[in-house]
Structure 1
Amino acid sequence: MSEEMRYWKLNALADEIGCHFTTVNRWFNTLETRGIHYVEKAPDGTRVYTDLDLMIGQYIQEKRNKNWNFDGILAQIVDDATLELRPFPKGAMKSGNELSLDVTKLSEALQDRMSELLQQQEDHFNERLQAAIQGNQQFRLEMRQKDITDMITNNRITNTLRLEALKAWAALPDSERLIKKGLFRKEEDLNKKEQFLTQYEMDHYADRLRLETTNEPYEEAERLHQEANDIPDEHGQ
């Protein structure tokens, strides 16, 4: 007496195979869309799985446990003469082939679109990367130029203020500039002079820098420079 055929719904079949039901559903969807194996249907269109489907599900799971890729498993199912595959009923096979063809075309279209999008993203990334590199180079060049300009400006201001400070020091009376050295000789108080020059530069640097950076009239800067050049030397010449 032959053993009675058993039937399962998807969840129960997945439990028998030892795999999640969504994975099992995907396996049998692929088997049908590729026209390899047909699963019986209830009148409402719900799949009804039998011992044959269980055997195929267990076969797939066994191969997956051995790290086979799914396409390789499907090819093996087709070639394995020991496996019984359920043929598609008349009419269902045609429908299955059409669905398989549509799915293949859709898959190819999606792959083409994804490749196009990935290429666009790569191109966009490369453009932004090149722009960032060029922008960084330009920024570094501008900063280098600014450093050079600042250094030149600082030297010009410092030198000009030093000359002005020397002129202001020379204009002071002897009583403030000179100190006695012995009974009959006086010399310039060098410590006091250096303090005077340094203080003068500190007091006037900010205003002079403002003149440089705000582009105030050239005549003002020229006047200050001329005044500095008019400073007498230590012999009053």
Structure 2
Amino acid sequence: MEGIKKVWQISDFAKKVGRSKKTVNSWFLLLENQGVHCLNRIDGQKRVFDELDLKIAQFFVKGREKGFSLSLLAEQLPKYCEVRPLALIEEMKEKEEASPIALHALTESLVQHMDSTIKQSFELYEQSFAVQQKAIQEELRILRLEREAQSKWKNLPYKERFRRRGFLKIEDLEKKDRFILDYVKNKLTILDTLNPTHRSWDL
């Protein structure tokens, strides 16, 4: 009947999410243990999943596919999705005892609000991930150039790499550091000139 909230038991819900029952259970047990989000229960014991839980599961699916840890996803969840923390569950129970109609209205309001924000939330989530990926790629690029510079330094004549200290000759580490830094800067300048859409951070 239209207007009745749809719920699933764990087997059907896991199939809808596309993950095993064990995996889905572990997500929601983590959220409940941390007090982030609680499932609805029938007769106070049997857990059921609704549309709000489905959206949260989709958030976990997408996050796990991108390599984010469960603890990080649980921590970030309230920033991107509506949740039912323990305090809200207690409030809903009180409203259920007082008025089932009021409880239904509250749940529908939460679901509708979730529908209006989920798309924007995932876009912000993807943008944040893209920034992190770009930073990692830039660090790797600089690391590769530093290794190249170290190899170039080793190929320089002995007298350019070492300086006298008393009766000994030691490697000029200050000069080496300047050499590596200048090498990386020059290489980045050349690469950024060839590819102006990829600007390196200032060293």
Q: Same fold (TM over 0.5)?
A: no
- Considering only CA atoms, is the larger Rg found in Structure 1 or Structure 2? 1
TM, length-normalised to structure 1: 0.35
TM, length-normalised to structure 2: 0.41
